[in-house]
Amino acid sequence: MSLARIARALGISVTTVSRALAGYDDVAPATRALVIAEADRIAYRPNEAARRLRRGRAEAIGVVLPSGPGQFDDPFFLRMLSAIGPALEAEKLDLLVTTARPGADALRAYRHLVENRKVDGIILARTRRQDERISYLLDRDFPFVAHGRSLESRPFAYVDIDGEAACRAATERLLSFGHTRIALINALPLYMFAHHRKAGWLAALGTPGPLREVEPTEENGFRAMQDLLATEHPHERPTAVLCATDRIAVGAMHALAHAGLRAGRDVALIGYDDLPLATYTDPPLTTIAQPIERAARRMVEMLLARIGGAPAEGMQEIWPARLIARQSDGPPAGTDTPRNHQG
Amino acid sequence: MSLARIARALGISVTTVSRALAGYDDVAPATRALVIAEADRIAYRPNEAARRLRRGRAEAIGVVLPSGPGQFDDPFFLRMLSAIGPALEAEKLDLLVTTARPGADALRAYRHLVENRKVDGIILARTRRQDERISYLLDRDFPFVAHGRSLESRPFAYVDIDGEAACRAATERLLSFGHTRIALINALPLYMFAHHRKAGWLAALGTPGPLREVEPTEENGFRAMQDLLATEHPHERPTAVLCATDRIAVGAMHALAHAGLRAGRDVALIGYDDLPLATYTDPPLTTIAQPIERAARRMVEMLLARIGGAPAEGMQEIWPARLIARQSDGPPAGTDTPRNHQG
DNA sequence: TTTGACGTCCAAATCGATTTGGATTACCGA
DNA sequence: TCGGTAATCCAAATCGATTTGGACGTCAAA
């Protein structure tokens, strides 16, 4: 009803209207002006469905949000969406969001997007060591960009943050404070990011310290810290704890308070993510900041290139994170070194 | 390439294939079985674009996420998305997410969705007292459901939480503890929810106590509390502070700690939202819980009805919130009443 | 005058699913 | 044998934008 309507109003063909609006040069300037004027007048908007049908593309990209208990309030995805949105708008692509409980459900969601051609490409976050979503997409040769690496042997496009280097640096910072028993409350190691963070901690430490691995929520951080305090022999209790996420760190800090201990004074605590909240814990949390927004924008760029046919080879980027020193860490209790050493 | 392909393989017409798969009863059972078998074999999936073009619908609904500094980490929207997702999946509708900085940008985003027929309906959250998005959608007679009321005079569909009653009850709880100077750190009153929360506080109080109104972030809660502590005459300092959101409350609690005061002991503090975090503040935060997920599911139901042509009249629901008593409030300092009174 | 070369324009096909308005066949009762 | 009725099936139109493969005139060069 629409290109046709302009055509009828002007007494010219639909073809010419289409070509006038699309900027082809076989349209007389005068005709083009008429077409544009009329299009403006009736506030013409191309019918997306028709265009998609004809072009054979969905003109959209997809993101699958993990949902379900303990998942849905992870600020990470919201930050990512917020960054992806404007980047896509510039490209006139829609953002399709699906939710799925992690696990079997998740693969179903990806399959749905691919098989029903709902989107032209996918942005995939929180990669796993063995990631069936990645193998699925590679099998189908479907364009996607991941946030994070994976053990998959075939090359795929990703932007990752160097959690290993960041955690190594954080651990070294704790060592330089004089700590000798440095624990890690890690996320489940099936997550690639958790694996890297552990690797950094291990690399700095040489011989592993106490380790707990949990789904990264406040509650699990709380429990894990309580467990560390209870399980380890009193004289071998960690004097410093590195947490794989700020949510874990917040729970851990609470467990410390519960036990009459104070982060920074009695036990050094370092988080990861730099949630806005980290400034407002008591004490403010020393943590590691990741440029999620910039990474998301870069991922969109890569995804567009992939959709355009560019190969994934060479689309692997690992960006540095940086440590934000606040007050939750410092030298072991009973030491005289100044606090809040800039790392 | 697809209904046609099945038709060709079976030597029957596209019409019959379509009708067989759509369940019409003018297809012989044997034929239908053949069609279904072949469709299965080639993993037939209807082309969405073609279907949308033909049906004249987008088969999608839209949500506009506020993005930008201080916004993007608001857990509210993620919870809402997580609840909307599965509800839509059941209806085979897509979820289109757009981001916009609040303000002029936001209206542009809505206009975009409507004018380009990107979606069949919209879910609109965090309503304002004067909400141009609502008037715009009403002007266009475009189906939408809001989370929250507005001063708009024309009826529209919404699900709201009774923040007024909740805040009245919270204030009464503080009064019953013996507090007499009860402050409110509210969100900006241009937000309808903030207006209601203030109204509840006022209703319980009779004569207004100290009031601060800010964009609801941790940082602003921190500043507002510092301001309350600094500005009010020492003997008229509030002994209890009601916060319009948990994020504000977390910042406020931090400001208290900064001033050497402890929430629950020196100043009673009540939040609103029951973020998972609220359990892990120190002390755990007494707060008000809203059934966002259930509300979101109900909003989807309503939206489907609106898209189906049902009038908005009668689609107005106000649900109760409930207070979760933890340790951040109690009687004024120097009182003997037992703490953590169950409200 | 004829031949090309442009400059403009357009009819028709195409993308794939849906729907309208019959067409065809078999079978029944009269 | 003929009209009527189900039971099946299908050709063609439709949704709106895009694209292919020309058509038609005009004008300059030959």
pLDDT tens per residue across span B210-238: 999 999 999 999 999 999 999 767 778 89
Backbone angles phi, psi at B293, to 5 degrees: -60, -45
Closest to B81 (Cβ–Cβ): which among A97, A276, A281?
A97
d(CA B130, CA B149): 10
Give the model's pLDDT for residue A111. 96
Closest to B250 (Cβ–Cβ): which among A89, A94, A280?
A280
d(CA A51, CA A6): 17
| Cβ distance of B86 and A75 shorter than 8 Å | no
Please compute the mean of the pLDDT values over residues A105-134 and round it to a whole number. Answer: 96
State yes or no: pLDDT of B39 exceeds 70.
yes
pTM for the full model? 0.92
Give yes or no for A95 touching B (CB within 8 A): yes
| Cβ distance of A73 and B78 shorter than 8 Å | yes
Among residues A242, A154, A160, the alpha carbon closest in space to that of A198 is found at A242
Closest to A94 (Cβ–Cβ): which among B43, B89, B118?
B118
List, in order, residues 6 or more apart from A271 with CB less than 8 Å away.
Answer: A243, A245, A246, A248, A249, A250, A278, A285, A286, A287, A288, A328
With contacts defined as CB-CB under 8 Å, which chain A residues touch B71? 82
Burial class (CB in 10 A: 0-12, 13-18, 19+), B119: buried
Q: How far apart are the first and last CA of chain B?
A: 64
Which residues make beta-bridge pairs with B157? B145
d(CA A235, CA A145): 47
CA of A125 to C1' of C28 (A): 67
Closest to A82 (Cβ–Cβ): which among B65, B86, B279?
B65
Give the model's pLDDT for residue B339. 44
Give the model's pLDDT for residue B76. 84
Give the model's pLDDT for residue B181. 94
Give the model's pLDDT for residue A101. 87
State yes or no: pLDDT of A232 exceeds 70.
no
d(CA B93, CA B95): 7
Whether nucleic acid strand C comes within 7 Å of the CB of A14, the answer is yes
Distance of residue A78 Cα from the nearest chain B Cα, in angstroms: 6
Residue owning tokens 């206009």: B111
Give the model's pLDDT for residue B1. 64
Least-confidence region, from A68-82, B12-26, B36-50, B304-318: A68-82
**SS3 state of residue B216:** coil
| Cβ distance of B81 and A95 shorter than 8 Å | no
Whole-Å CA distances, B287 to A149, A254, B153, B268, B308: 39, 18, 32, 11, 38
CA-atom Rg of chain B in angstroms: 26
Task: State percent of chain A over pLDDT 70.
Answer: 95
Residue owning tokens 């998959």: A152
| Cβ distance of B217 and A79 shorter than 8 Å | no
State yes or no: pLDDT of A264 exceeds 80.
yes
Residue owning tokens 């973020």: B275
Q: Which nucleotide is nearest, taking the CA of residue A46 and each C1'?
A: D17
Give the model's pLDDT for residue A288. 98
Please name the helix (run of DSSP H) or strand (run of DSSP E) that holds residue A228, with its range, or none. Answer: helix A218-231
Backbone angles phi, psi at A65, to 5 degrees: -90, 130
List, in order, residues 6 or more apart from A77 with CB less than 8 Å away.
Answer: A63, A65, A66, A125, B78
State yes or no: pLDDT of A144 exceeds 70.
yes
CA of A51 to C1' of D21 (A): 21
Selected residues 13-52 of chain A with any CB under 8 Å from a CB in chain B: 43, 45, 47-50, 52
> Taking the CB of residue A85, how many other CB atoms lie within 10 A of it?
21
Whether nucleic acid strand C comes within 7 Å of the CB of A101, the answer is no
d(CA B206, CA A328): 43
Tens of pLDDT, residue by residue over B166-210, are 999 999 999 999 999 999 999 999 999 999 999 999 999 999 999
Residue owning tokens 């963070």: A197
**Letter for the amino acid at A138?**
L
Distance of residue B185 Cα from the nearest chain A Cα, in angstroms: 17
Residue owning tokens 């309580």: A226
List, in order, residues 6 or more apart from A31 with CB less than 8 Å away.
Answer: A12, A16, A20
Whether nucleic acid strand D comes within 7 Å of the CB of B47, the answer is no
d(CA B100, CA A63): 18
Q: What is the mean pLDDT of chain A?
A: 93
Whether nucleic acid strand C comes within 7 Å of the CB of B42, the answer is no
Least-confidence region, from A123-137, B17-31, B56-70, B293-307: B56-70
Alpha-carbon torsion (A184, A187, A190, A196), positive or negative: negative
The tokens for A149 are: 């690496």
Secondary structure letter of residue A276 according to DSSP = G
| Cβ distance of B118 and A82 shorter than 8 Å | no
Residue with minimal CA–C1' distance to C20 is B15
d(CA A68, CA A105): 11
Whether nucleic acid strand D comes within 7 Å of the CB of B141, the answer is no
Secondary structure letter of residue B235 according to DSSP = G
Q: Are B111 and A43 in contact (CB under 8 A)?
A: no
Spell out a b/e string for A280-312, using b for 16 or more CB atoms within 10 Å of the CB, else e.
bbbbbbbbbbbbbbebbbbbbebbbbbbeeeeb
| Cβ distance of A217 and B276 shorter than 8 Å | yes
pLDDT band with cut points at 50, 70 and 90 for residue B276: confident
d(CA B214, CA B216): 6
Distance of residue B102 Cα from the nearest chain A Cα, in angstroms: 12
The tokens for A330 are: 């410092």
Give yes or no for B67 touching A (CB within 8 A): yes
The tokens for B258 are: 């900064």
Give the model's pLDDT for residue B335. 66
d(CA B292, CA B47): 34
- Beta strand pairing call for B94-100 and B60-66: parallel
d(CA B276, CA A247): 10
State yes or no: pLDDT of A79 exceeds 50.
yes
pLDDT band with cut points at 50, 70 and 90 for residue B96: very high
Q: Are A98 and B97 in contact (CB under 8 A)?
A: no
Least-confidence region, from A48-62, B57-71, B255-269: B57-71
